[in-house]
Each structure stands twice: as C-alpha cells, then as structure tokens.
Amino acid sequence: MVQLQEKLQVLREQDLSIWDFFQQKAMDGVWFWYKDQPHSKWVSPRFLELLGYCDTNVWSPVFHQNIFSTTFLSTWKQFIKVCGDNRGISQKQRFKFIHKEGHAVWMDCIGICFPDKPTLPILLTFNDITDLKAKEKLLLDTNRDAKIGAWEINLDTKELFWSNITRNIHEVPSDFQPSLTEGINFYKEGYSRDTINRCVQEGLEKGTPWNVELKIITYTNREIWVRAIGKVEFRNGKALRIYGSFQDIDTEKQTEEKLRQLSILKAQSEDMEQFAYIVSHDLREPLASMIGYIRLLQESFAEKLPADAQELLAATVETATRMDSLIHHLLDYSKEGQTKNKQLVNTSQLIEKVLFDLSAIISENQAVFEINKLPNLYAYSTELKSVFQNIISNAIKFRKPDICPQIKIDCKAIEQGWEFRIKDNGIGIPTSEKQKIFNIFQRVHREKYNGTGIGLASCKKIVEHHNGKIWVESELGSGSCFYFTILD
Ligand code: ADP
C-alpha cells in the first residue's frame, strides 16, 4: 500500500495531468498562497467556473467582495486566519458564494497550513454542495408543510435532540432544552404516555419500531394529536440511539372526528327517514278506509241523521282528509333526496310547467310574475320543480289580503353553480323565525293559513341534495325573498 502511494507521488511529479485530474475533476476548487503574501493567490479554474467566471485572470484581491455575501465575508476572514494560525488541517466550514449571475453556490471548505515549510504555504480545497443544499431545503420545506419534525436520543449521554419543527409542534420557547423525561412528559398522562413508554421499552428490548397516534399537551397547554414514529439503532447488540419523526396530525384527526360524527348523524337521519316512511305509508291505508266509511255513512244515512250529526261527520271527513294530506307530504319528504341521476334542466321551461300546474290559484289570486333569464343546468329535475312549486305557491298563499301577489324570479351565476331568487310582496316573516321555517312542521302563520309545515323542509332537503343552501330575507309585513343555490 505504502509503495503504491509512493508511486503515485512520483507519477504526480512526473505527469501534470494527474494533478489536473485532482484539481479539475476530483475537487471543486483549490486555492493556494503563502501566508506572508495573502494578495497573490492561485485559484483553480474549476472554482472560478463554478462561480460563473471563465477568465482565470478575473482573480484580484478585491474579488472576495464579489463572491461573498457580507455575512459570509466575515466568517471567511475568520476561517483564513484560523487556518494560517493553526498549522494543521482546519475544521470543515460551509460557505455560501454568490455566482456571477446572482444565485447561491454552496461549498464545503477544508484548509491546511504546512508548518514545516518556512514560507508557510496555505492550501484550501472546496467541495460543491449546492445540489445537496437544494435537496436539504426541499426536504425541510416539505417537512415544514407536512409538519414533520425529527428527534433523536443519544443513549450514551441521554441527550434528547428536537429539530426545529419538532420544537414548533411542542410550542416550546427558543431557549427550551428538553430532557428525556420532559420529552416523555409532553405526552398526555394516561393512554398516550403509557403507550409511548411501552413502545420505547419494546424498542429497546426487542428492536420493534413504532408508529403511533397519540396526544401531547404542548408547552402552551394545548392538547393536540401527533404521530410518533421511532426506532432503536443497535451496534453489536448494544442500543446506541433512538430516533424518529414527529408529525402534527391534529387537523386531520379533527376532520376525521367530524366525519365520524357526520356519518353517525347521517345513519341516524336515514333511520329516521326510514321510520317516517314506514309509519306514514302504513298510516295512510287505515286512514283512507276511515274516510271511505264516513263518506259511506254520510251517503247512506244522510236523511236519517240530524243536522248537527251531519255537521260533525263533515268536520271529521275534513280533518281526516287534512291528516291524509299531511301523511302524504311526510311520505314525499322521507323519499326526497334519493334520486341518483341528474339531467340537463331548462329552468325557464321548468317554471312554465310549475305555473301551469298552479294556474288555478294563480288566476284566483291574480298573481303577477316577472321572470328573468334563467339558465340550463344539471339537476334532479322533478325535485327541483317541487322546490319552485313550494316557494311559488307559498308566495301566493302568504299574500297580503289587499294587494295582488307580485312575484319576481331571477338567477345569477356563482362560483360553483347558480343562485336563484324568488321575491314576493306578501305578509313577510318575523326575523326571529327566518331560520326555523326550514325545519319540518314549523309554521309561523298558523291561525289564518292551512298547511303542513313540510314544504320548506322538503325544499331544504332537495337543495342540500344539490350541495346547495336555502335561506330567506324577510321582515314581517315587507314581503319575503327566498334564495337557494344549486351547485355543479
Ligand atoms: P306550509 O306552507 O305548509 O305551512 P312550509 O314549510 O312551506 O309549510 O312553510 C313553513 C312556514 O313558513 C309557513 O307556515 C309560513 O309561516 C312561512 N312561509 C313560507 N313561505 C312564506 C312566504 N312566502 N311568506 C310568508 N311566510 C312564509
């Protein structure tokens, strides 16, 4: 080995291309000078090339000012001084140079001063680590975005290291140095702390890695979810260090929890709808028979019954018919929102059909309509028609006694769909009731007007099936304006 090394020495002295290979290919930069002549330096062409200079004569004593940022210029001066004074190989120092075109070029530098030579030659070698730095930054940025930090426990010194992101997750002040016990104590007492202790124990005893979702209480007393991943590193059977990553997963966990609650609510509401469907379906049959029997009684025994008994029978039929209508609407309501296929709907034509169906009450109330340009959109056609039908028939029903209903319908495009507006000049709704009327069986003007209180609840269900919202702007006595959105 030594012989070969000597041969290489000889070869290097005889053949300059060996040196060229070193300074041009194997190293990214070489600087050479004598300590007492600091202004006359040799700088390898490769170094200058990496900083964007093709002319090797560009070098001058003031050249430093072009290639260093102010912060690094003082580090550089310090480094050169230490190199010259120490007479040996320096520590590795990282420098940020400025390329001729302005971007950063990162290099690691090691220097040496030869103490046995009287002229004290100084040699620096450089290694370009710009790509490495860029990857390091990418990793840091992605870790910061994903809130993933690192941690490490040195089992010899029992020191605990936290990366900046891990420190941020724990919300500790900048001068906080966690001890091993403090690190563990951030885990919430009980399940989380017990689990992490067990994971570390099993890691040390059996080498089992861990990946667990636990809760910590941060320095500022916030309880958050984290994912702790860890592993023990062994050498010759001896545990050397424990290390891993640490991720803030609180937002994801909260979303997960909301989704879980939502799915429970959805299941409950589906159960309720199923229940309402069965009840209303099964109730209608005996009710229809009841109405039939009373009618039969009215027809067959009308003359034999006294007038007040006939009145009672008539009232019974009316009430039973109202009950049938209520059950009928409830049945419709429970079936709402089950349509699966949307189709292209021409809303102008849809409104025309609604107005045709409502023509009797329209002419009876002399209702006037102003309908602006309406769009074609993808929707559940029959259900959308029933939304318009409900809102328009209410606009006529809840009219002021002395003025004919005037109803204005228009629509505007919104970010993800359409917003419809149906404005009337009717009796209006008290501000305190504006929210309630979209709940099933909620009616404001009970005394004077017939109704079931299901219509708007049904509209809400249909609109939500279209991912939209429904609301009203109104004041008692000043008309109402219903809005709903249909999203793509
Ligand atoms: P119903 O019309 O069968 O009573 P809805 O669910 O359609 O039930 O409406 C609920 C309540 O909202 C109505 O009872 C009424 O008090 C109020 N309401 C709905 N539309 C209007 C309107 N255009 N003007 C005034 N009040 C309205």
Is any ligand 1 atom within 6 A of the Cβ of residue 444?
A: yes
Instruction: Please state, in angstroms and rounded to a whole number, the distance separating the CA atoms of residues 20 and 11.
Output: 12
Tell me which long-range contacts 412-416 makes (C-beta under 8 A, separation of at least 24): 413/375, 414/485, 416/487, 416/488
Over the stretch 68-79, which tens digit does the pLDDT of each residue have?
Answer: 888 888 888 888
Domains along the sequence of the chain with CATH: 2-134 (3.30.450.20), 141-248 (3.30.450.20), 254-335 (1.10.287), 343-487 (3.30.565.10)
Mutate to test the pocket of ligand 1, among 389, 398, 435 (most ligand atoms within 8 A of CB): 398
Mutate to test the pocket of ligand 1, among 392, 394, 409, 425 (most ligand atoms within 8 A of CB): 394
470 forms beta bridges with 484
* 284: nearest Cα among 325, 317, 313: 325
Asked whether the beta carbons of 239 and 158 are under 8 A apart, the reply is no
Residue showing tokens 């040196």: 19
Instruction: Please state, in angstroms and rounded to a whole number, the distance separating the CA atoms of residues 457 and 313.
Output: 33
Is any ligand 1 atom within 6 A of the Cβ of residue 389?
A: no
Cβ contacts of 245 within 8 Å, gap of 6 or more:
148, 149, 150, 151, 227, 228, 229
Region 288-298: mean pLDDT is 90
Token pair, residue 339, equals 């349509």
How far, in Å, from the CA of 364 to the mean position of ligand 1? 19
Asked whether the beta carbons of 93 and 125 are under 8 A apart, the reply is no
Mutate to test the pocket of ligand 1, among 333, 361, 437, 476 (most ligand atoms within 8 A of CB): 437
User: What is the position in ligand 1's atom list of the atom closest to the CA of 440?
Assistant: 6
Q: What is the DSSP string of 137-159?
A: HHHHHHHHHTTEEEEEEETTTTE
Is the pLDDT at 60 greater than 80, yes or no?
no
Instruction: Please state, in angstroms and rounded to a whole number, the distance separating the CA atoms of residues 230 and 200.
Output: 8
Is the pLDDT at 336 greater than 90, yes or no?
no
Token pair, residue 56, equals 């090797």
* 75: nearest Cα among 92, 60, 61, 50: 92
How far, in Å, from the CA of 384 to the mean position of ligand 1? 18
Asked whether the beta carbons of 103 and 130 are under 8 A apart, the reply is no
Asked whether the beta carbons of 269 and 281 are under 8 A apart, the reply is no
Nearest CA to ligand 1 atom 25: 428
324 forms beta bridges with none
> What's the pLDDT at 1?
59
Is any ligand 1 atom within 6 A of the Cβ of residue 387?
A: no
Strand locations in 129-260 (E): 148-154, 159-162, 210-217, 223-235, 238-248
Is any ligand 1 atom within 6 A of the Cβ of residue 443?
A: yes
Is any ligand 1 atom within 6 A of the Cβ of residue 472?
A: no
Tell me which long-range contacts 178-185 makes (C-beta under 8 A, separation of at least 24): 180/153, 183/151, 183/153
Higher pLDDT, 435 or 330: 435
Asked whether the beta carbons of 42 and 31 are under 8 A apart, the reply is yes
Is the pLDDT at 2 greater than 70, yes or no?
no
Region 409-436: mean pLDDT is 94
Q: How confident is the model at residue 23 (pLDDT cuts 50, 70, 90)?
A: confident
Is any ligand 1 atom within 6 A of the Cβ of residue 445?
A: yes
Region 116-134: mean pLDDT is 89
Question: b vs e for 337-374, b when ≥16 Cβ sit within 10 Å of the residue's Cβ?
Answer: bebeebeebebeebbeebbeebeeebeeeebeeebeeb
Instruction: Please state, in angstroms and rounded to a whole number, the distance separating the CA atoms of residues 103 and 339.
Output: 59
> What's the pLDDT at 459?
95
Over the stretch 446-480, which tens digit does the pLDDT of each residue have?
Answer: 778 888 899 999 999 999 999 999 999 998 999 99
Mutate to test the pocket of ligand 1, among 432, 443, 480 (most ligand atoms within 8 A of CB): 443
Please tell me the least confidently modeled range out of 1-15, 96-110, 221-235: 1-15
pTM reported for the whole predicted model: 0.54
Region 203-226: mean pLDDT is 95
How far, in Å, from the CA of 338 to the mean position of ligand 1? 24
Region 26-44: mean pLDDT is 87
User: What is the position in ligand 1's atom list of the atom closest to the CA of 454?
Assistant: 6
Q: How many angstroms separate the Cα of 276 from the Cα of each of 283, 290, 463?
A: 10, 21, 20
Region 315-340: mean pLDDT is 83
Whole-number CA gyration radius for the chain: 42
